Chain A
Amino acid sequence: MRVLGLDIGSRSVDAVWLEDGRIVDWAVADSGFDPGSAAAVFVERNAHDAIVSTGYGRHGARERFGGTAVTEITAYGVGAARLFPHAFSVLDIGGQDTKVISLGPGGKVTDFEMNDKCAAGTGKFLEVMARALGFSLEEMAEQGIAASTGVSISSMCTVFAESEVTGLVHRGEDRARIARGLHESIAKRTLSSLKRVNARGPLVFAGGVAKNPAMVALISEGFEGDVLVPEEAQTVGALGAALSLGAAAHQ
Chain B
Amino acid sequence: MSDQPVDYHPMWAELGLDLPTHDALLGAVGQLFGDAYLTQENRPQGMDYLNFVMSEVHGLRIKELDDYRKSGGKVFGTFCLYVPEEIIRAAAGWCVGLCAGAEFAYDQVEQIMPRNTCSLIKSFMGFKLAKVCPYIESADLVIGETTCDGKKKAYELLGDMHNVYVMELPQMKRDVDMAMWRDEIRDLMAKVEEVTGNTITAESLKASIKEVNDKRRALQRIAATRAADPAPISGKDALLATQVAFYDDVPRFTQMMNALADELEARVAAGEGVAPKGAKRILITGTPMALPNWKLHDIIEKAGAVVVGEEMCTGSRYYQDLVSEDASTLDEMVSDIAEKYLDINCACFTPNQGRLEDVVRMAKELGADGVIDYSLQFCGLYEMEANAVEKTVRDAGFPVLKITTDYSMEDVGQLATRIEAFLEML
Contact = CB atoms under 8 A, between A and B. Distances in A.
A73 B411 contact: no
Interface in A37-52: none
Contact of B414 (A74, A97, A110, A112): A97
A71 B413 CA distance: 11
A72 B420 CA distance: 10
A117 interface: yes
B414 A73 contact: no
Contact of B417 (A109, A110, A114): A114
A109 B404 CA distance: 21
B425 interface: yes
Contacts of B424: 70-71, 73-74, 109
Interface in A83-103: 97
A56 interface: yes
A116 interface: yes
Interface string A102-130: 00000011111010110000000000000
Contacts of A109: 421, 424-425
Nearest to B413: A56
Interface residues of B, number: 12
Contact of A112 (B410, B411, B425): B425
A70 B416 CA distance: 11
A97 B414 CA distance: 9
A71 B420 contact: yes
B418 interface: yes
A105 B420 CA distance: 20
Interface in B378-426: 404, 410-411, 413-414, 417-418, 420-422, 424-425
Given A109-B425, A110-B425, A112-B425, A117 B420 contact: no
Contacts of B420: 71
A97 B410 CA distance: 14
A214 B140 CA distance: 64
A72 B416 CA distance: 11
Contacts of A108: 425
A77 to B, nearest CB: 9
A234 B326 CA distance: 68
A108 B421 CA distance: 11
Interface centre among B413, B421, B424 (most CB of A within 10 A): B421
B417 A56 contact: yes
Given A73-B421, A73-B425, A97-B417, 15 more contacts: A71-B421, A73-B417, A74-B425, A97-B414, A109-B421, A109-B424, A109-B425, A112-B418, A112-B422, A114-B414, A114-B417, A114-B418, A116-B404, A116-B414, A117-B411
19 contacts: A71-B420, A71-B424, A72-B417, A73-B417, A73-B418, A73-B424, A74-B425, A108-B425, A109-B424, A109-B425, A111-B425, A112-B422, A112-B425, A114-B414, A114-B417, A114-B421, A116-B404, A116-B411, A117-B411
